[in-house]
Structure 1
Amino acid sequence: MSRSRRAVRWLQPGLVVKRWMLTSGIGLLVLLLGAAVWADLKPIYWFLESLNWLLKNITTVMPRAITGPLVLVIGGALIWLGQSRSFGSIQQALAPEKGTELVDALLAQRRLNRGPAIVAIGGGTGLSTLLSGLKRYSSNLTAIVTVADDGGSSGVLRRELGVQPPGDIRNCLAALSTEEPLLTRLFQYRFKAGSGLEGHSFGNLFLSALTAITGSLESAITASSRVLAVQGQVVPATNADVRLWAELENGERIEGESRIGQASSPIVRLGCTPDRPPALPRALEAIAHADLIVLGPGSLYTSLLPNLLVPELVEAISRSKAPRLYICNLMTQPGETDGLDVGGHLRAIEAQLASLGVEQRLFSAVLAQESLEDPALVAHYRNRGAEPVICDLGQLRNRGYEVTLAPLQGGRPSATLRHDPRSLALAVMRFFRRSKGQ
């Protein structure tokens, strides 16, 4: 883009730059006028006399038809030079290597600041995938994240240090980060060797150390958000040390998030210890001011439903007037959602809410994947025990659900059946605009 076209873009409304430049110019004139009044107006007389003398001498050398345009060009050139160098210096300080014009960055930030307040509830990779797509549309994002994980690096840190599991929170912070990619990669780096370090991610260790220093995971998240320049906020569902348990159809009761994901029989009931954990005030405030509330995508019993074990969160969602959307997974998860279609996922959510005494339907709108068109990839997943989550449109609509089908996997061929961040976020924003009549 040429310099002249970039300069014209600064005249676009809403940048909140022109008004302050004008204010500065008026302030300079008032400042000079005040100094002149203080000096008994003599500087004004001297300036007018000097200006009159200068104009007389210039016009005697060159006619006004030449002098006027020449002086205008010189003045304009000086203004252009001064402003371009000023904005260039500001850009060098704010984004030295991002290759983005300052005017483009300001316009994008203005658009994001005006984006809807979206609360996304869940955990695992599904939530971080959604957030990485939604941050293109709004900076008013709140991720409410489950803290029931007891496997992998998070489980080790939880057992040995007594901290809440940081893994899902780390993924959400990285997804919402606007800092340099290298810093985000560092936060996500997982050690591949080393006694005691192997399997741990740097971000998990960082959050655990900050939790010990600040005294709470919530404070550690706030500090990490500043380091990563997070666009929005990440909030744990509760500050309690939550342990999941599940009752199976065969009568067995299993404990621990990692074991629930490998259940040998269908899950009929999910609970946690301690019972009815409290919600964090920031989470409740975000829900109260939300323009859209989203549940999912993510593992049904280990990422989504644990958040609905927090009664205060459920009550806040039920009070909200914002549209509420459930995003279903693409594939079933062996040992957790075997044989469940979209309707089965929704029945599990309704059963969870009924166990808390909530009879009203919290999520009456559903976003699901269109029919998958890659039989070879589907067959590969079938060999691993996973099936596409079937959506019976007629049945769901008869039950009063608003169902939207979209290509959530994305239009490009891929080696995995996962939600595509851009396609998923686009479908969510289209639902939001329809719900607002836009």
Structure 2
Amino acid sequence: MSVTGALGPAVVALGGGHGLSATLSALRLMTHRVTAVVTVADDGGSSGRLRDELGVLPPGDLRMALAALCDDSEWGRTWRDLLQHRFRSSGDLDQHAVGNLLIVALWEQLGDTVAGLDWVGRLLGARGRVLPMAAVPLAIEAEVVGPADGSGEPQRRVVHGQSAVAVTRSRIEHVRLVPPDPPACPEAVAAVEAADWVVLGPGSWFTSVLPHLLVPELAAALHRTRARRCVTLNLSPEEEGETAGMTATQHLQVLHQHAPELRIDAVVADPRAVEDVGLLVEAAASMGARLLLRQVRSGDGTPRHDPLRLAAAFRDVFDDYLGDVGTPSR
């Protein structure tokens, strides 16, 4: 599927937090038809406080996605910076992000979650749309295995809440959502069904990427859509937290375990993040995908994706250049 036309391909990006922001910062450089579908399970910080106090969707990851899509003009950058600004005080406003308050205020005024996000997008001149993955706030639970006890048996327990799962030191075996059958955002389902490409990752694997596969209506759309699917892997394993020590291959294996019937068409990885290329090629092939190795890391040495490099990698994927540069795969 060639990237043609003035608007570019219709791309849906799934995730949350900084990982989704990296994807959106790249996609906005190559297409005007971007839809971000964002996890809504955050229970910490400003988002968690607003969620608990007002019973709303946690706005933080939605805010970050909107900021990543802002217009690259003085107007867009100014409103982006305002959206991201956090108050610092000794009172109740401490660490609340202005954008979180703005989004929640629009939700209360309009009585419509999607309309409120669309209005913020218009304010930013956003190149694309931001939608929640579910219509209700969610919680994440993880089944984890810790060090063996005195009897030699590994300790199994359940960790409750996204903020707790994100920092667990135990090995995560499986994650689930509460409620287990949440209603999907209808506009998100429609966007997946109408997409040319769906991109999953990078990001916190268990708390930002996999949850999208656990919302039944959204998962069904991901399985039946005619869109092709691309997985973008993280740049380095976490030293601690939910994916501590997990290899690039293990990230794909965990994805397959949670959605065994989901076909993937392409996997994007930075060569420096791959421990064993052969194993990763095999894992990708088992899901129907080909591996694209490209330097997508920032040139300053920090473990973050460079928007221009990642955009170039996505263009190669969308144009089927999955081998050496300039060699089409089909």
- Whether the aligned pair in 2 keeps the contact of 1:191 and 1:202 (CA below 8 Å) is yes
- Whether the aligned pair in 2 keeps the contact of 1:393 and 1:403 (CA below 8 Å) is no
Show the counterpart of 1:432.
318
* Matching of residues 36-435 of structure 1 within 5 Å: 113-178=6-71, 179-249=75-145, 250-333=155-238, 334-353=240-259, 359-371=260-272, 389-399=273-283, 400=285, 401-410=289-298, 412-414=299-301, 416-434=302-320
Q: TM-score, normalised by structure 2?
A: 0.87
Matched position secondary structure for 2:198:
strand
- Whether the aligned pair in 2 keeps the contact of 1:122 and 1:298 (CA below 8 Å) is yes
Q: 1:391 to 1:367 in 2, by over 3 A?
A: farther
Matched position secondary structure for 2:236:
coil
Q: Tell me which amino acid in the other structure corresponds to 2:192.
A: I
Cα deviation, 1:319-377, whole Å, max 9, x if unaligned, reads 12222111111122212112211111111111112xxxxx4233242111112xxxxxx
RMSD: 1.8
Between structures 1 and 2, the one with greater helix share: 1
Question: Distance in 1 between the 2:33 and 2:165 partners?
Answer: 33
Ranked by relative contact order (alpha carbons within 8 Å, sequence separation 6 or more), the top structure is 2
Q: 1:112 to 1:421 in 2, by over 3 A?
A: farther
Q: Tell me which amino acid in the other structure corresponds to 1:327.
A: T
- Whether the aligned pair in 2 keeps the contact of 1:112 and 1:136 (CA below 8 Å) is no
Cα deviation, 1:224-244, whole Å, max 9, x if unaligned, reads 112112111111000122111
Q: Tell me which amino acid in the other structure corresponds to 1:144.
A: V
Question: Distance in 2 between the 1:180 and 1:151 partners?
Answer: 28
Show the counterpart of 1:77.
none
Question: Distance in 2 between the 1:280 and 1:126 partners?
Answer: 21
Q: Tell me which amino acid in the other structure corresponds to 1:216.
A: D
Residue 391 of structure 1: how far off its partner (Å): 4.1
Q: Tell me which amino acid in the other structure corresponds to 1:345.
A: H
Q: Tell me which amino acid in the other structure corresponds to 2:144.
A: L
Residue 437 of structure 1: how far off its partner (Å): 6.7
Q: Using the aligned pairs only, state the percent identity.
A: 39
Residue 254 of structure 1: how far off its partner (Å): 1.0
Residue 113 of structure 1: how far off its partner (Å): 4.3
Between structures 1 and 2, the one with greater strand share: 2
Question: Distance in 1 between the 2:161 and 2:181 partners?
Answer: 17
Question: Distance in 2 between the 1:342 and 1:268 partners?
Answer: 16
Q: Tell me which amino acid in the other structure corresponds to 1:173.
A: L
Q: Tell me which amino acid in the other structure corresponds to 1:393.
A: V
Q: Tell me which amino acid in the other structure corresponds to 1:351.
A: Q
Residue segments in structure 1 that go unaligned for 5+ positions in a row: 1-110, 354-358, 372-388
Q: TM-score, normalised by structure 1?
A: 0.66
Question: Distance in 2 between the 1:266 and 1:230 partners?
Answer: 38
Matched position secondary structure for 2:246:
coil
Cα deviation, 1:146-169, whole Å, max 9, x if unaligned, reads 000111111111111211100110
Residue 431 of structure 1: how far off its partner (Å): 0.9
Residue 299 of structure 1: how far off its partner (Å): 0.4
Question: Distance in 2 between the 1:265 and 1:237 partners?
Answer: 27
Matched pairs, number? 304
Residue segments in structure 2 that go unaligned for 5+ positions in a row: 146-154, 322-327
Question: Distance in 2 between the 1:216 and 1:348 partners?
Answer: 35
Question: Distance in 2 between the 1:368 and 1:262 partners?
Answer: 24
Q: Tell me which amino acid in the other structure corresponds to 1:232.
A: G
Q: Tell me which amino acid in the other structure corresponds to 1:343.
A: T
Question: Distance in 2 between the 1:306 and 1:169 partners?
Answer: 15
- Whether the aligned pair in 2 keeps the contact of 1:112 and 1:139 (CA below 8 Å) is no
Show the counterpart of 1:99.
none
Show the counterpart of 2:152.
none
Matched position secondary structure for 1:150:
coil
